Chain A
Amino acid sequence: MRVAVIGAGVIGLSSALCLHEQFHGLVPSLELEVYADHFSPHTTSDGAAGLWQPYLSDHGNLQETLWNKETFDYLLRHLHSPAAKEMGLFLISGYNLFTEPVPDPSWKNIVLGFRNLTPKELELFPGYSCGWFNTALMLECRSYLPWLTNRLTQRGVKFFHKKVESFQELFSQGVDVVLNCSGMRAGDLQPDPELQPGRGQIIKVLAPWVKHFIVTHNLKSGIYNSPYIIPGSEFTVLGGVYQHGNWSEENNAKDHKSIWDSCCRLLPTLQKAKIVTEWSGLRPARPSVRLERESIRLGNLQGEVIHNYGHGGFGITIHWGCAMAAARLLGSILQEKKQLASPPGPRL
């Protein structure tokens, strides 16, 4: 039973690990392979600061809220494990700021210590009239992706550095199931007009005195189009750009100035921070995550595809919940192919 994962970002690698953990013991013939044209540190995931935080509203998409919760709880359980440092996992607290009152978010009871900001705290942020304080998690992909890769390699999973041109290409090589975690490039494998880039740009600086994340919100401009400051274990990420439909991965000077000026206004002490590097990437945005099975038939070639892409700017936040859901889909495929014994029924 050959399962090929396309994509080695946070979605691809975590799904691969989840599948292997769940089915390796149950399906002795399971062979897992990962195909990708980019590996860490060159994936979209590597550009993300790594803050666990969903968007303000789930737009009634309860499924995604549950996957977010599953991910947070999973990571929290690993916080005290010896692996946490190697995974790039740690607790972080901080501020979400608004210029007008907003309803509490879907994730207020998922994070720790969620509360409104006091008037004295708001003095720190002139121009913002209300906000939240909470404790969340950071998961830095420049550590997490290599950690996942090591776990997978230890388990005998094989990696192939190549761009897969079509699902058929893999089926013709004898792959039984494809797990499509191709993120922004999913459209190359199968057209999907709902998948659009949400271009982001960030500036990485050295500002080790910043211990809190600060995410501002401008309800008119939309998510991530307002300055944010996220301190990592080594660098602090400054950002606040979300350009729907923009495919450019080149750093833009106007965006740089906008990010720098607005972040320095938010936190004046950043003026003394040393700029280390700059990066642009494309959030694989979709009205909802595509997480579903599809049977592909072309001539005499046939195979199952499990799609797991379109996580926008919340891939890290939702990744484990999606990996578990993808594993459940594989479980039903395996049952159908009689690779997995059906649950024992009542004796007649």
Chain B
Amino acid sequence: MASPKVAVVGAGVIGLSTALCITETCPSCSVTILSDQFSPNTTSDVAAGMLIPHTYPDTPIHRQRQWFKETFTYLFAISNSAEASEAGIHLVSGWQVFKSTPKEELPFWSDIVLGFRPMSEAELQKFPHHQFGQAFTTLKCDCPAYLLWLEKRLKASGAQMYTRKVADLWELHSEYNVVVNCTGMGAHQLLGDKELFPVRGQVLKVHAPWVKHFIRDGDGLTYIYPGIHRVTLGGTREKGSWSRSPDPDTTRDIFDRCCSLEPSLQGAQDIEMKVGLRPSRQCVRVQREVLSQGGVKLPVVHNYGHGAGGFSVHRGTANEAAHLVAECISALQGSSSRAKL
């Protein structure tokens, strides 16, 4: 197979980063990205893109740690280069605060982020409703800059991108040798995966350029994440809600909760409401599968179900998915050479 044809379905952070990894691990592959939406209309565009991992209940911790470490290392190098501002990657310091001391004081990622330590008494005085906190420095991927930067790198490597709604992965079998499923929430309809469910998140994007630190309540519900031009205020975690329309009462509630953590936000301007459906699963599905119909086989690599933690692990899962694609191609080349005998 001279030039294996790989289709990546989905153009959010998972689809684009997976496609990029495939061009890196398999330079002879021809990669095409197919998606009904591209930036700025993907779920990723709504996310703040903070590198603070979400814990998946059914994925082994060492695997999550590996994914996060690879992602952090990759982005750390970009943040330190001249491309950082174009890629939308920057360092940000801040605090995760808890109303009561958490059972686990050292999360699995504490040695991967920078300068992780408990907050001092003096620092905690800024948060009168909270008793315990952690200070650290991490990275933020500012969307849509990051997605546009990924698209630019992909085009430079020869990858093609088309707006196309794929209703069934099988429809791609005649044009492509391997299909990579990075459809996020779309996998619900595409595959009928009952383990995939939306967790609705509403956020506000505001103009408050004096806010230089992130603040996150340990319960994960209230957070303030300063980006390049806007600060993301969040949020909600509505399991099973499919509504993509912003709710004004929710906006008021998010704003109040964030102002309670950071009173200066009262002066924030240009408040924009956004909604994203986190494609949630008990474990991220990074897995090979072979679809077959009437003797014809189509290798598929799945990479979806990242829920609240997409940005934090994207590069790690993209690497893993790219290796699975390489395995699929080897298997195809193996069977085609066997066919010649």
Answer whether A and B are interacting partners.
yes
Interface residues, chain A, CB within 8 Å of chain B? Answer: 79-82, 84-85, 88, 90-93, 112-113, 115, 117-118, 120-121, 123-124, 133, 135, 138, 207-212, 231, 233-234, 268-269, 271-273
Q: Is the CB of A207 within 8 A of B85?
A: yes
Least CB distance, B45 to chain A, in whole angstroms: 18
Q: Which of B84, B122, B210, B267 contacts A269 (CB 8 A)?
A: B84
CA distance A239 to B117 in the complex (A): 31
Q: Which of B93, B117, B267 contacts A212 (CB 8 A)?
A: B93
CA distance A334 to B120 in the complex (A): 43
CA distance A93 to B214 in the complex (A): 11
Q: Which of A84, A113, A211 contacts B264 (CB 8 A)?
A: A84
Binary per-residue interface labels of chain B (86-99) against chain A in the complex, 1 for a CB within 8 Å, 0 otherwise: 10101111000000
Q: Which of B81, B135, B212, B267 contacts A231 (CB 8 A)?
A: B212
Helix, strand, loop or mixed for chain B's interface? Answer: mixed
B93: which A residues are within 8 A, CB to CB?
93, 133, 135, 211-212
Q: Is the CB of B210 within 8 A of A211?
A: no
B117: which A residues are within 8 A, CB to CB?
115
Instruction: From known contacts A79-B126, A209-B90, infer whether A92 and B212 are also in contact, taking CB-CB under 8 Å.
Output: yes
Q: Which of A79, A121, A135, A208 contacts B228 (CB 8 A)?
A: A208
Give the size range of B's interface with the partner: 35 or more
Q: Which of A80, A135, A210 contacts B90 (CB 8 A)?
A: A210
Q: Which B residues, 203 to 238, have Cβ-Cβ distances below 8 Å to chain A?
A: 209-213, 226, 228-229
A124: which B residues are within 8 A, CB to CB?
80, 91
Instruction: From known contacts A208-B229, A209-B85, A211-B90, infer whether A93 and B266 are also in contact, taking CB-CB under 8 Å.
Output: no
Least CB distance, B204 to chain A, in whole angstroms: 17
CA distance A85 to B269 in the complex (A): 12
Q: Is the CB of B115 within 8 A of A121?
A: yes
Q: Which of A85, A91, A234 contacts B213 (CB 8 A)?
A: A91
Most buried by B among A115, A135, A209: A209
B289: which A residues are within 8 A, CB to CB?
none
Closest to B88 in A: A209
B229: which A residues are within 8 A, CB to CB?
208
Q: Which of B81, B84, B91, B119 contacts A113 (CB 8 A)?
A: B119
Instruction: From known contacts A82-B266, A209-B90, infer whether A271 and B82 are also in contact, taking CB-CB under 8 Å.
Output: yes
Binary per-residue interface labels of chain B (68-91) against chain A in the complex, 1 for a CB within 8 Å, 0 otherwise: 000000000001111111101011
